[in-house]
Structures are given as C-alpha cells and as structure tokens.
Amino acid sequence: MKEPEKYLITVVGPTAIGKTSLAIKLAKHYHTEILSCDSRQFFKEMYIGTAVPSEKELNEAQHHFIQHISIFDSYSVGDFERDAILKLSSLFKDNNVVVMAGGSGLYVNAVIKGLDEFPEVPEHIRTELNKLYENQGIEALQVRLKELDPVHYEKMDIQNPQRVIRALEICIASNKPYSSFLNQKKVIRPFKSIVVGLTANREVIYDRINKRVDIMIENGLIEEAKRLFTYRKLNALQTVGYKELFKYFEGEYTKEFAISEVKKNTRRFAKRQLTWFNRNENTLWFDFNIPLKEIIEKIEMEK
C-alpha cells in the first residue's frame, strides 16, 4: 500500500497580521503540531518584543522552536534548517500534515528549498568588516555592498548589519557577487509544500503594527529591554524593538521618539517581509479576515 503524501503548510505574511492565530487553527483542524520559523522568537530572553505566542496559544497546539535557545548561543539559519528537518522527519511519522509559521523569509526558504552553498570565508575578512562596522557604522558597509553587488543590495534588508556583513564576506572572499550564489542548489524534500500568505491593505497592516507596539509597551517591553541592555552588542539584540530602546537608555533618543522609531522600523520590516514573500509565485494569498473554511478549501484543492 502506498504511503500517504506528507504536506508542510507554511503560514507567512507581515508582522502583526495574525500568522500565529491561523497556524493554531490549521494545526487544530489537521490534528497536528506547529514549527515556528520566526528567528526572533527563538531566544528565551526576548519575550515581549518578539511577540512570542501567549501561554494560552502555546497550550492550544504543540509548538516547536519557540524560545529554545539563548541570546548567548550561536545559532545560524543552517543550524535551524538541520534541526527543523530532523523535527519534521519525526512529526511526519505520526502526521500527514505539519504546520509551519513565521515571518523570517530566509528561514522559511531554508526548510522548504534548502540553503544555498557559499565558499569559505577567511577569518581576517570577517574581522575587518566587523571593525569597519564598529568604526564607521552600517552606512560604510552599505556603500561597499552597493558597489560589489548592486542586485542583492536592492533586495536585502540593508539595515541588518549581520546580513550585510555576510553578503560582503562572500563578495570579497570569492570576488563574485553574493547574488550569483543564490538559488543554484535544488533540494528535494520528502514532503510537499503549501504556502499560505496573509495580507491586508497597507493602512490596516500599519495600524495593527502601531497597536501591537503600544500593547508591548504596556506589557513591559521597556523593562525587558532594560534587563537586556548590558548585552546590547549581541547579534540577537540587533533587532527592531530593542535597538531603538537601547538608544533611549543611552540618552540618544527620548522615550517617545524611541517608541515612534520602533513603530516606524517595524512598518519598514513588514514592507520588506511582503516584498520577500511576494517573490514566491506559488503562495496562496488571503485577506487576514477571510474565514478559515475558505483557506482550508483552497489548501485541500492544492493537495
């Protein structure tokens, strides 16, 4: 007798659109479990500012890769790909469907498509780029990347120093554009992938983001950031919601301006998420308010 097909249903979309809620509803419908691929929610010390699912939500469906590592741990997208594929192998023994949810496009692609292969980078290149960042800031890195790989510069999150440094490392080490290494490797996974996207018009997305930030502040985001201030140089904390508040603690921003910057940078982040996810022409897009029944009907047609 032929084994039934295995399906990974991935819920994507901009931040604050309702991915967690939909993932839980789908997991309950299919009597299955959820993999989180939101790289900001991996860290146990970052709870409020990363919008980790509430205790009630976590109890509604079994989640994996939520607060499973520390900000002090070294954990790459390659580590996540390995761990996620191992977990999926285990879950597919008892389930024909598994749900994955999150807004980290690179991590979604790592699970569905596999990672691109890059050349080794000599340590001195990494060291020099980190010194450049410390001494001259992210603008110097951005200028260099625009020169070496204008194609990738236009597509990537140029405000993320780790991503910019990584792209520059490859450009310098290989003497080729970083973008020339992308999408070269074809990986065959032992499951079929169905990607569900949630969206709304821009005003609705931005309003939901602004309200979510206000709720985070009410729930203690400033106090959480204060506890993490000592460790502000760690890679995990170079992210929206924390870096703006660190500037407030350092006296560079007022409290009100820091909060407005959190909102502004989160809106920009959402825009980049949509740009990334829109590249996948096979994504099934739905308005965030659409009834669950219609989403499930469409999923079943794809199976």
Which pLDDT tens digit goes with each residue over 34-91? 999 999 999 999 999 999 999 999 999 999 999 999 999 989 899 999 999 999 999 9
Is 78 annotated in a binding site? The answer is no
Alpha-helical runs (H) found in 138-251:
138-148, 150-155, 161-174, 202-218, 221-228, 243-249
Which residue type occupies 61?
A
**CA separation (Å) from 41 to 125, 147, 165?**
30, 34, 22
Percent of the chain with pLDDT over 90: 81
Structure tokens of 94?
A: 């008892």
Instruction: Give me the residue label for tokens 């996540």.
Output: 80
pLDDT of residue 96: 97
Which pLDDT tens digit goes with each residue over 228-262? 999 998 989 989 999 999 999 999 999 999 999 99
pLDDT of residue 158: 82
Q: How far apart (Å, rounded) are the C-alpha atoms in residues 13 and 269?
A: 11
Is 114 annotated in a binding site? The answer is no
Specify the 3-state DSSP secondary structure of 144.
helix
Q: What is the mean pLDDT of residues 124-130?
A: 92
Q: How far apart (Å, rounded) are the C-alpha atoms in residues 7 and 226?
A: 42
Q: For residue 107, what pLDDT band results from cuts at 50, 70 and 90? A: very high
Structure tokens of 141?
A: 């890195």
- pTM to 2 decimal places: 0.85
pLDDT of residue 115: 85
Higher-pLDDT residue of 160, 222: 222
Q: Kindly list the structural domains of the chain, giving each domain's residue range(s) and its CATH number in brackets, ordered by start.
A: 7-115+185-302 (3.40.50.300), 123-181 (1.10.20.140)
Is 14 annotated in a binding site? The answer is yes
Q: How far apart (Å, rounded) are the C-alpha atoms in residues 118 and 193?
A: 25
Is 19 annotated in a binding site? The answer is yes
Which pLDDT tens digit goes with each residue over 157-205? 788 888 899 999 999 999 999 989 887 767 889 999 999 999 999 999 9
Is 13 annotated in a binding site? The answer is yes
Specify the 3-state DSSP secondary structure of 217.
helix
Buried b (16+ CB within 10 A) or exposed e, 233-243: eeebbbbbbbb
User: Comparing C-alpha atoms, which of 117, 118, 112 is closest to residue 187?
Assistant: 112
Which residues have a Cβ under 8 Å from the Cβ of 178 and sit 6 or more positions away?
Answer: 148, 149, 152, 166, 167, 168, 170, 171
pLDDT of residue 1: 60
pLDDT of residue 120: 87
Percent of the chain with pLDDT over 70: 99
Tell me the backbone φ, ψ of residue 212, rounded to 5 degrees: -65, -40
pLDDT of residue 231: 97
Q: For residue 2, what pLDDT band results from cuts at 50, 70 and 90? A: low
Specify the 3-state DSSP secondary structure of 20.
helix
DSSP state of 43: B
Contact present, 238 and 162 (Cβ < 8 Å): yes
Strand partners, 196: 11, 284
Q: For residue 156, what pLDDT band results from cuts at 50, 70 and 90? A: confident
Is 15 annotated in a binding site? The answer is yes
Q: How far apart (Å, rounded) are the C-alpha atoms in residues 243 and 138?
A: 14
Which residue type occupies 6?
K
